[in-house]
Amino acid sequence: LTAYGIERPGSDACIRVNPGLGSGHNNRTNVGGPSASFGIWHEHLDQVLSIARTHGLRVTRMHTHIGSGSDPDVWHRCARLSLGIAARLPDVKLLSLGGGFKVGRMADETSTDLHEVGHVIQEDFEDFHKRHGRKLHLEIEPGTFLVANAGALVCSIIDVVDTGAEGYHFIKIDSGMTEILRSALYGARQPIVVVPADDEERSERNYLVAGHCCESGDVLTPASGDPEGLQPRRLTEARIGDALVVGGAGAYCAAMCAKNYNGFPEAPEVLLMPDGRFALIRSRQTLDHMLANEIL
């Protein structure tokens, strides 16, 4: 903030504040509270005010983001804490509560009820107006909520192996961390379906699904609530040449992946049009593309 004030004295500014509260299904998705480095710690607000006075800055926008969750009580606490901080910033006109609107990708996961959360937050903002005489503009970032379940990753099964009677059966695919990092990074779970290459009726069995990267963590079947654990899925009997579809891949997948890890090229992306046609929106990366930035 000091550097910004020196560069642009007398201008408007937006600050991100860590309100002291975090939320997430584990610490890897928690971006608020004392274990998160994001934003200015709320107890340092006096320093913000001092820097703003020194450089004539007007803090007109404030941003908080605590992680991901569906509990209205947590959103209520976040809003109240954020509004309490905004009350000390007299020029703030806009308060962004960030994103983190939980999307239930699995049957046992709960999506955020936007109506319920919105009602709670509306009451908090109206109460702020009554107490401080200021109407604040609310801003949210519902990116994942809008597109998470609008995309799927379609892979090919390249091998089916097992580790003996005391081990596991594995489905190995031609994708993994290079397209979907959420499972390895967060321990996040995605719906998975095996699509047979033929019409033969098949039984089901328990599988772990492993990606093609040379990493033991490149597994798409982590245990629920335990990023370090493994949890086999009941899937249609898999064979080499079958397809495997990973659902819920519309957010934080192509945009957050281990691009070119192990020398794998980026996969193509296809958009399903309203009339049923498929339109190529990103071509498969070639070796020339991958080497274009290499100097020596």
The structure tokens listed for 39 are 């934003």
Catalytic residue of the set 155, 214, 253, 257: 214
Q: Count Cβ atoms below 10 Å from residue 250 Cβ, excluding itself.
A: 20
| C-beta of residue 177 within 8 angstroms of C-beta of residue 186 | no
- The dihedral region occupied by 59, where left means phi > 0, alpha psi between -120 and 50, and beta the remainder, is beta
| C-beta of residue 232 within 8 angstroms of C-beta of residue 204 | no
- Reduced to 3 states (helix: H, G, I; strand: E, B; else coil), residue 274 is coil
214 carries an active-site annotation: yes
DSSP tag of 170: E
Name the nearest CA neighbour of 78 among 65, 89, 87, 91.
Answer: 65
**Where do we find the tokens 């009820």?**
113
Catalytic residues: 214
